[in-house]
Structure 1
């Protein structure tokens, strides 16, 4: 049976989580001297500027249907490391800005839950709208942001966590590394979706439960995962 309230909460959570994730990348690059994202109109909060048909729509819906943690991606914000004063350091800062934005949003959801905890215990939870907001939307919003954060922190190209390689790889090999990143995505998506389906084992789901799930439970006054 389709859980309409959950789908609504997931969509309302997923879109801002992705948009602010990408805007954070672009804004960090802009503050570090790279105007590429701003010139491309990617510092906008308009979701239409960031939507990728597969990553923003098809993949999350597929994961929802399969009962897996919901994550996905938007169109990557373009940036040019040549503008950076310290490309190796600044590449890491830009890479971590997106996950950091997701962590802040999850923490805000947890803070709201704590602020409303006593009113909920005092009977406000009996209000149907409040109950959906408090027990479904806030946990969903936090978990989706945490799923996106920890998923993107995996040190696998082209995810944000792979930016750590910019510090480890000798400078002369960085251009080659950026080329590899462009072609790594199809292989990565096969690993994320196809391999778990074929072998009936999803290491990504296990990893996200261990990381995002446990952190989400710490942020809230009640268990959310």
Structure 2
């Protein structure tokens, strides 16, 4: 049964969606609430996917550790799994991967199952991205545009424009998370997919560098040229699945309501 915390996150996401759709209150605050709560919701489901596949692969202990209740406070690294990815979204618009749930691999007898456990999280982000892109692929948000008011601040126009830019931002974040999680770097899901298939010496080297993989990724994204290339690829994939060109970036900028203060 889902934890009360997850139920609360789900409720906030639903209310924020209604507020954004109906243009209730400050539209930029509405977009902020929907993007942030929707992103946290996806983080919880990402970690749950790791846990549920681990459970059916032989590690029944994930249930005792509380991972199957979708409670973000039960994660091994709540700061890496929730706080840091949330800060990265708010400040940089990057869907950083978080720290995965702890899995007792002694109970996982198959290399394929170990890889599948690691792949389950990124697969969740891919599914989220595709679901969020469906309305756009069907023509929604086609009349959304951006203008500037008398003070120079941007204003989203179009039928339910605030809602669609928020949805575009969420889809954009899911694409970034999908790509980053699949980077074959020690400590990330992409690296963990490959790790069971490495020889013993390479596994020892992998385990040595795994704790620093996340920090290395953060440093790489800080480089302006790499950051530019990465977002160009993200934008291409977002557009490929149906998200209008630039809509996600607009949503990520628009959600930073404090930038107009």
User: Normalised by the shorter chain, which TM-score bucket?
Assistant: 0.7 to 0.9
Query: Are 1:150 and 2:150 counterparts?
Result: no
Name 1:180's counterpart in structure 2: 208
Specify whether residues 212 and 35 from structure 1 end up closer, same or farther in structure 2 by C-alpha distance, changes over 3 A only. farther
* Unaligned 5+ runs, structure 2: 1-27, 144-156, 249-261
Name 2:237's counterpart in structure 1: 215
1:61, 1:12 → 2: CA distance?
13
* Unaligned 5+ runs, structure 1: none
Name 1:14's counterpart in structure 2: 39
Shift of 1:80: 1.7
Instruction: Provide the secondary structure at the position in 1 that maps to 2:44.
Output: helix
Structure-1-length-normalised TM-score: 0.76
Deviations 1:79-118 (A, max 9, x none): 12222231x2111111111000000011000113334628
Query: Are 1:105 and 2:128 counterparts?
Result: yes
Shift of 1:147: 1.2
CA contact (8 A) 1:17 1:144 kept: no
* Number of equivalences: 206
Deviations 1:31-88 (A, max 9, x none): 11211222211112233334723552245425643x4524241x521112222231x2
CA contact (8 A) 2:81 2:97 kept: yes
Structure-2-length-normalised TM-score: 0.66
CA contact (8 A) 1:150 1:208 kept: no
1:22, 1:54 → 2: CA distance?
12
RMSD: 3.0
